[in-house]
């Protein structure tokens, strides 16, 4: 099914019941369009925290004097997804032999979900991405999952790690 997000109002949860293209059943979605300014993806070569002005703004924003200014803004988390090594081969090539994967990485914190690009035919992909998230609850869990992209069906699970923010 396809959803035209431009027809939905912002900052409101919509319950959508979408018929599947092949006509076999439907998908129920809860969709909320919201702006989360601090959720970003950037290349590893462009690290915003190395910018002195950006660093000063962050220190000011989370200083003890600003502690009660916005109770739900606990802080931010920057995750660097550099590479994966020795991934499981998930794609069939040749005579029923497995020899490659088309991996991509998904980084999730609460309702924020960011993805890397897919590195095709590679068991040792390099993404070199920086993901920045707002932290609203220190009891949240960061999840990093690697999938194998399959164009004709859903992605295959290759591996996952869950990191409680309290352990960081």
Residues 42 and 4 in one domain: no
> Hunting for tokens 């993805």 — which residue is that?
115
Range of the domain at 144: 37-46+78-167
**Tens-place pLDDT, residues 108-159:** 998 889 999 999 999 999 999 988 888 888 899 999 999 999 877 788 999 9
The domain total for the chain is 2
Q: What is the DSSP string of 142-156?
A: EEEEEEE--TTSPPE
**41 in any annotated domain:** yes
**pTM of the shown model:** 0.65
**42 in any annotated domain:** yes
> Hunting for tokens 């000063």 — which residue is that?
56
Q: Is 91 exposed, middle or buried (0-12, 13-18, 19+ CB in 10 A)?
A: middle
Q: Rounded CA gap, 126 and 128, in Å? A: 6
**10 in any annotated domain:** yes
Banded pLDDT at 67 (limits 50, 70, 90): low
**Tens-place pLDDT, residues 2-56:** 888 888 887 677 888 888 887 778 888 877 776 555 677 777 766 555 566 666 7
Give the rounded distance of the alpha carbon of 165 from its chain centre: 16
Q: Where are the beta strands (DSSP E) in the chain?
A: 13-19, 26-32, 40-43, 75-83, 91-93, 97-100, 103-109, 112-115, 126-135, 141-148, 156-164
């Amino acid at each position: 099914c396809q959803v035209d997000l431009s027809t939905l109002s912002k900052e409101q949860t919509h319950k959508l019941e979408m018929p599947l293209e092949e006509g076999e059943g439907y998908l129920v979605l809860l969709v909320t369009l919201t702006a989360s300014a601090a959720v970003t993806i950037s290349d590893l070569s462009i690290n915003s925290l190395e910018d002195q002005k950006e660093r000063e703004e962050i220190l000011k924003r989370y200083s003890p004097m600003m502690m009660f200014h916005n109770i739900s803004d606990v802080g931010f988390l920057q995750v660097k997804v550099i590479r994966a090594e020795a991934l499981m081969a998930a794609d069939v090539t040749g005579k029923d032999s497995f020899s490659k994967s088309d991996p991509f990485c998904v980084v999730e914190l609460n309702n924020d979900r960011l993805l890397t690009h897919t590195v095709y035919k590679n068991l040792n992909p390099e993404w070199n991405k920086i993901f920045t998230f707002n932290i609203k609850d220190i009891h949240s869990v960061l999840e990093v999952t690697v999938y194998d992209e399959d164009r004709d069906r859903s992605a295959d699970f290759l591996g996952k790690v869950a990191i409680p923010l309290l352990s960081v």
